[in-house]
Amino acid sequence: MTVFVVDLESVPTRYTCEWKAHVPQLLRAAGHDVCVIDGPSDIPNATTPGAFLNFGGTNIYKSQQVEKISRLFTQGNVNVGDHFVFTDAWHPGIINLKYMSELLGIPVKIHALWHAGSYDPQDFLGRLIGDAPWVRHAEQAYYHAIDYNYFATDFHIDLFSHQLLTLHPHWREWATTESKKLYRTGWPMEYMEEILKPYKNIPKQDRIIFPHRIAPEKQVEIFRDLAVHMPEYEWVVCQDQELTKAEYHKLLAGSKIVFSANLQETLGISCYEGMLVGAIPLVPDRLSYREMYDEEFRYPSKWTENWESYQQHKLELMNLIKDCMTNYNYRWSRIYNNQHKLSSEYFSANKILKNLE
């Protein structure tokens, strides 16, 4: 059995850079024969503003992957029982693969990781395209073509199921008979603790960091307004600077608080990174944060539901931030159990590996 990894293009500022090497190594360490199906290296490195990848570049990359998969079939290099792992479920090659597998009589298993889609009203697809039939039917087709649909949080599963599967008149039957198609699993990020280990002893500054993308769903304007009203602290929006990964990690490690007012978060990597180097996560009680973070690290959701609600609760939020900064040592001492839960349940690919046995 061969495990074919259909990877994501490597972007230096995104975790896809680490995944490029880590995912194949993880699978090989588990005893699998691994073949990586990548794309060209000469695509734009810069992401589309506010987005995770470059909207044009990612299609160049995926198109070459489709060609490589097709050649594997025509050359007789795909066998019955092989597995294909797509590190991004939003990939047209999933349909191409299913087409060849079934018409050529070479059944394979398809695994794919869902990051976002039109079913999330805060995502680019959700905001700009919404529930247009072409996009919703495309996502439904991906879901049914995939044998193992992976989601990092229960929140993401609920969002996906409610917005996408309920569009079909037989969605309840799908949920019952095809329950083994949908899995909540950790992401393959075991490497993070080792990467961040050298930064753990960096002295803390009275600094609050905003590590998220500058996009409407991240509500950076709330962070900037807090900075104006609390000048006694240093406030840093990471994407205001052109930071390397090492520079970002050093800045993060020297901060006391990682702040979020996000309206979209199906996992939230940066807050976990902050925990690993001693920064307190301060997150709203909504989205994936609700299941991932202990109550003492979550503030009431209504405080940052929108700009108007933030204005009404600004003083409460400012008081909480002041308390976190003043009592940093006490709050940090209570974070170990939460950190362990995230490491074992949300940033480990053990469940994915089990389905490849």
The string of DSSP codes covering 298-325 is: EE-GGGGSSHHHHHHHHHHHHHHHHHHH
> What type of residue is 106?
I
Residues 310 and 316: their CA atoms lie apart, in Å, by: 10
- Cα angle 264-55-53, degrees, rounded to a multiple of 5: 55
Please answer whether residues 261 and 346 qualify as being in contact, where contact means their C-beta atoms are separated by less than 8 angstroms: no
Pairing of strands 280-284, 298-299: parallel
**What's the confidence (pLDDT) of residue 53?**
66
The pTM is what? Answer: 0.90
Residues 210 and 201: their CA atoms lie apart, in Å, by: 21
Please answer whether residues 16 and 62 qualify as being in contact, where contact means their C-beta atoms are separated by less than 8 angstroms: no
Residues 209 and 138: their CA atoms lie apart, in Å, by: 37
Phi, psi of 123 (to 5 degrees): -75, 160
Residues 135 and 179: their CA atoms lie apart, in Å, by: 23
Both tokens assigned to 323: 């308390």
**What's the confidence (pLDDT) of residue 334?**
87
DSSP bridge pairs for 4: 35, 84
> What type of residue is 278?
G
DSSP 110: E
Residues 243 and 45: their CA atoms lie apart, in Å, by: 14
Query: Closest Cα to residue 119, out of 86, 159, 80?
Result: 159
User: Half-sphere exposure of 273 toward its Cβ, with a 13 Å CA cutoff?
Assistant: 29
Residue ranges and CATH numbers for the domains of the chain are 2-189+349-354 (3.40.50.2000), 192-345 (3.40.50.2000)
Please answer whether residues 15 and 78 qualify as being in contact, where contact means their C-beta atoms are separated by less than 8 angstroms: no
**What's the confidence (pLDDT) of residue 98?**
98
Residues 168 and 155: their CA atoms lie apart, in Å, by: 21
Q: Block means of pLDDT (10 residues each) for the chain, length 357 residues?
A: 94 79 94 96 70 78 97 98 97 98 98 93 84 91 94 92 70 59 91 93 96 92 98 97 92 97 94 94 97 96 98 98 96 88 93 90
